[in-house]
Structure 1
Amino acid sequence: MDPFDRLIKAMDHWAGQQASPVEILAQIGTGTYRPENLQYVDFLTPAEYKQKFGQADLVVSHAGMGSIITALEAYKPMVIMPKLASLGEQRNEHQMATAKRFKRSALIQVAYDVDELYEKLAEAATSDEAKVALQRQAWPPDASLIDFIRGFVTSVPAPTSTSRVDLPPKGISVSDGNS
């Protein structure tokens, strides 16, 4: 629903600072910032999203439940950075609450600001053995939580001529290559 230029700018800056190129694909949605150091698209189709997500060694995203659940189900390492209402990125601070909830997961790394994001990206550049160990330690998603969220999402009423339902687009920055 809302762009996350702060995350896209940070990832672009990080990509430009790497000694050797890192393959990154960013889905930037309706953001106005256009990256210079990484590949980007406005939106991926659901099939493209699923393919790129599956190919990624690491996913970097806002603290959106859809992306988090997808990562947990796939045991995909992820770094999340919550959008902040105080910066006009959200209507309220619900992503901060989401980040705090998932901070206990070994699979989900939380970065509350850009400096912490860079630290988490440096930590993610570990050996393949460490990544496998991290995936084995991952806190598995609670099936009841996943079922509840899926039920809630699928129970959203269809728009009528007198009402309008806007579902937010998913924003994600995907590391799609060697990290």
Structure 2
Amino acid sequence: MIFVTVGSQMPFDRLVRAVDDWAGEHTDSEVFAQVGDSEYRPLNVRWTSHLDPGAFQAQVLTADVVVGHAGTGTILEALRLGKPVVVLPRRGHLMETRDDHQLATAGAFASTQGIYVANTLEDLRAHLDLVGGMALEQPAPSHAPECLLAVLRQFVSRGT
């Protein structure tokens, strides 16, 4: 199953429409989308506007792959739960977000195993065509490494 999420802050019609169009051509694929306040309503996938945190986590756990905007929360939660992620960054000039910070986020994660960055709708379609071959070798840790925690504790205890 492909789980699509646009996050909770802004609509992302370009992503929702692109996945819906792809699903219309791949009727054997199961897709569920959280579309937020997007104006476009999918015709070819099951969808809901919003999910509470528990329902969101359940969808991620059920999914074979997560498709979403390049929000750090979406990326990190999918990786933590052991799911590969396809991200399509929102674009400022398209009024999908206030600036192009998601391009930087996608770039920062681009070399991470299990993350597939789609910079164009053509890239997105190509990644969707390969969903069955995507995998994440192991989930990301849900906490910081002990060595980092030790340094932070020492820093805080010194008060500097």
Structure-1-length-normalised TM-score: 0.71
Q: Does 1:2 align with 2:10?
A: yes
Q: Percent identity?
A: 38
User: How many Å separate the matches in 1 of 2:98 and 2:137?
Assistant: 36
Q: Does 1:49 align with 2:56?
A: yes
Name the structure 1 match of 2:99.
92
Contact in 2 for aligned 1:53/1:59 (Cα 8 Å): yes
Contact in 2 for aligned 1:72/1:141 (Cα 8 Å): no
Q: Helix, strand or coil: the match of 2:47? A: strand
Deviation at 1:123, TM superposition (A): 2.0
CA shift digits 1:81-138 (9 cap, x unpaired): 0000010000011000000000001211000111000111112222xxxx4xx42278
Q: Does 1:136 align with 2:137?
A: yes
User: How many Å separate the matches in 1 of 2:68 and 2:109?
Assistant: 13
Gap runs ≥5 in structure 2: 1-8, 149-160
Gap runs ≥5 in structure 1: 148-179
Structure-2-length-normalised TM-score: 0.79
Select the residue among 92, 113, 118 that pairs with 1:111: 118
How well do the aligned residues superpose, as a CA RMSD in angstroms?
2.1
Number of aligned residue pairs: give it: 138
Contact in 1 for aligned 2:106/2:117 (Cα 8 Å): yes
